[in-house]
Amino acid sequence: MRVGLITGNPGHPVLAAAAELLVRRGCRVEVVASGGSGASLADVYLLKARTPQALALARELEQRGAAVVNSAAATELCQDRVRMAELARGAGLPFATTVAAGRPAEIADPAYPFVVKSRHSRRHDLVALVDGAARLRELAQRWPEEEVVTQPYVPGSGWDQKLWVVDGQVFAARRRSELSSGDGGSADAGEWEPPAGLAALALRVGEVFGLEVYGVDLLDGVAEPVIVDVNAFPGVRGRPGAPEALAGLSAGMSWPSTKCRRKP
């Protein structure tokens, strides 16, 4: 069995660990260049990169009949926070109210405090708490051309609840929120077992968005948890069992009837 990696960083810890497990089982794992898909199809492709070139490659592979995890369409949808919120709220998910606001300088009559984010999700994008006019002016100067969205500020407990799902298996962690005004403390709360209701919510997100490998960012709302972001193929760093789940998903997605050979 052949597994193609569509990624700009094949050494990413989870991806590399899953690839090593697959190789041990007799699979051939190869990085696929964004410039072309090759003459023959691999059995499955893991779409970790989110660049326009990577998405175009994934679409080409899908058109040729290949299995791609996650699909190009689902991955692209999760890059647009407006579309993401519309889909989630339309499906009854408790997603934060997300409003397209143009550029930071164009945000009109804001109700402080609020959260401003880049409309298009990517590494090192804008995510900031805006607690007054001075802060908004500062962001407008630093990000003058950035398309942004606004979300209500949810004070919560100061901890972000991060749930990752790989092939129906839920992994979780609690981490100090970047927007928290607390004393800093440890950035990671260590091991955390999410309540059954939160795990079920994370699985429902995958059904709605058509995702197999994804992350859900949650905050403690007044009445219920609030989803503030969904990420296609996140890092899932430091979660025991995640590489094994990813390797198992890859082996199970083979479009021919063959599977990886288990070594004795």
Closest CA to 41 of 32, 52, 54, 50: 32
d(CA 3, CA 254): 9
d(CA 168, CA 191): 19
- Write the single-letter amino acid at 22: L
d(CA 238, CA 253): 24
Residues 6+ apart with CB under 8 A from 55: 47, 72, 75, 76
Q: What is the pLDDT of residue 187?
A: 52
**What DSSP string describes 137-192?**
HHHHHHSTT--EEEEE---TTSEEEEEEEETTEEEEEEEE-TT--S----SB----
Instruction: Determine the length of the chain.
Output: 264
Q: What is the pLDDT of residue 36?
A: 61
For the chain, the C-alpha Rg in angstroms (whole number) is 20
Q: What is the pLDDT of residue 184?
A: 42
pLDDT tens, position by position, for the chain (264 residues)?
999 999 999 999 999 999 999 999 999 999 997 656 666 899 999 999 999 999 999 999 999 999 999 999 999 999 999 999 999 999 999 999 999 999 999 998 889 999 999 999 998 999 999 999 999 999 999 999 999 999 999 887 778 899 999 999 999 998 877 776 544 444 555 668 899 999 999 999 999 999 999 999 999 887 789 999 999 999 888 889 999 999 999 988 754 434 454 333
Q: What is the pLDDT of residue 264?
A: 33
Distances (CA, A) of 147 to 62, 118, 206: 30, 6, 26
Chain-centroid distance, C-alpha 55: 15
Q: What is the pLDDT of residue 230?
A: 98
Distances (CA, A) of 257 to 25, 28, 42, 168: 16, 16, 13, 22
Q: What is the pLDDT of residue 243?
A: 95
